[in-house]
Amino acid sequence: MIAEVLIGGVTGLGLFVFVRALVPSRPGAAAQVAQIDALRARGQFGAPTTEPNSVRERLGFRIAQFYARQGWQQRSIRADLAVLERSWQEFLVTKVGLGAMGFLFGPILFAITWLWGLHLTPIVPLWLALAFGGLFFVLPDAEVRRDASAKREDLRRVIAAYLDLVSMNLAGGRGLPEALMSAAEVSDGWALRRVRDCLTDARLAGVPQWTALGQLGDDLGIKELTDLGAALTLVADDGAKVRSSLASRAETMRRRELAEMEGKAGARSQSMLVAQMLLCAGFLIFILYPAMVRIFQLR
């Protein structure tokens, strides 16, 4: 009887929290500030404000408002989503949907095992629901972090080459704004496209382009871009200092990338060495096993 009451109480609490998150309430100060910041960012980058139309969009909007009211910034995962060009609301809907599926998967698994004849205590479905619900809820975070990490590595390689191009344009007599835009137009890859769109939006909004680059670094979680924007703000009026600063930063980024590649190669070499040692050990066991069996039989 205690198990049934506990399961019913936890289920009712979960339903109450879910319905409470969907019911609109009076926004707090944190939610209003977050909404003002979002509107300001949209106005700065020229993104039109649209109302959610579909059920999925409305659900994502409500969940995002709930996060804002609770003060959950999630800046790291937001930066990862910005690198992957994915929506924050869509990500939250995916997390909640997978969590609900995992919460239902536990009791379904318990029912299948019950039909197979494995009779367990009634508290097991509750723990299965909580375990699978929590696991499915964090799966999108792991996927986003993995994909964003790989994409950031590509972006850092492109930024190193981009700085060299800007330095060469400055050496050719162009000004810093023209050099930044000209270097970003040499390719249609996603990395330079993000830089080019950032520079274009900054020019239309009347914001210094190096400030926009620093903001882009903050949004994407790229420390190199943030430092670049701060450095260009200090030496933007001195062409010689800008060229030397860009060249040194590009060289530093290349050396860091080379060191990371050497570290990864060393780690893979060690893993291959371990695999070879295990293979040799298995081969020795395969060779010695018949002889050892015969010796023990003779004894």
Residue 260 has pLDDT above 80, yes or no: no
Tell me the one-letter amino acid at 82. Answer: A
Helical H runs in the chain?
2-22, 29-45, 55-70, 75-84, 88-115, 124-171, 176-184, 190-205, 209-220, 223-235, 239-298
8 Å CB contact between 103 and 129: yes
CA distance 23 to 190: 39
CA distance 21 to 68: 12
CA distance 94 to 75: 18
Task: Report residue 40's pLDDT band, with 50, 70 and 90 as the boundaries.
Answer: low
Of the candidates 205, 211, 241, 208, the residue with the CA atom closest to the CA atom of residue 225:
211
CA distance 227 to 216: 11
Is the pLDDT higher at 53 or at 88? 88
Would you state the torsion angle of the CA atoms of residues 147, 151, 152, 154, taken in this order, to the nearest 10 degrees?
Answer: 150
Residue 3 has pLDDT above 50, yes or no: yes
Quick one: pLDDT at residue 240? 58
Quick one: pLDDT at residue 6? 67
Burial class (CB in 10 A: 0-12, 13-18, 19+), 16: exposed
Longest dimension (CA), the chain: 92
Question: 271-298 pLDDT, tens per residue?
Answer: 888 888 888 988 888 888 888 888 877 6
Backbone angles phi, psi at 169, to 5 degrees: -65, -40
Mean pLDDT, range 257-271, rounded to an integer: 79
DSSP 127-155: HHHHHHHHHHHHHHHHHHHHHHHHHHHHH
The highest-confidence range among 30-39, 87-96, 100-109, by mean pLDDT, is: 87-96
Tell me the one-letter amino acid at 158. Answer: V
DSSP 206-254: T--HHHHHHHHHHHHT-HHHHHHHHHHHHHTT-HHHHHHHHHHHHHHHH
8 Å CB contact between 226 and 210: no
Quick one: pLDDT at residue 20? 64
Which of the residue ranges 22-31, 167-176, 216-225, 280-289 would you say has the lowest mean pLDDT? 22-31
Question: 215-259 pLDDT, tens per residue?
Answer: 888 888 888 788 878 777 776 555 556 777 777 777 777 787 778
Q: Which two tokens stand for residue 68?
A: 């804002």
Quick one: pLDDT at residue 105? 84
Residue 15 has pLDDT above 50, yes or no: yes
Quick one: pLDDT at residue 149? 86
Per-chain mean pLDDT for the chain: 77
CA distance 146 to 163: 26
Which of the residue ranges 125-139, 185-199, 219-233, 239-253 would you say has the lowest mean pLDDT? 239-253
Residue 43 has pLDDT above 50, yes or no: no
8 Å CB contact between 179 and 198: no
Distances (CA, A) of 227 to 98, 221, 222: 38, 11, 9
Quick one: pLDDT at residue 47? 41
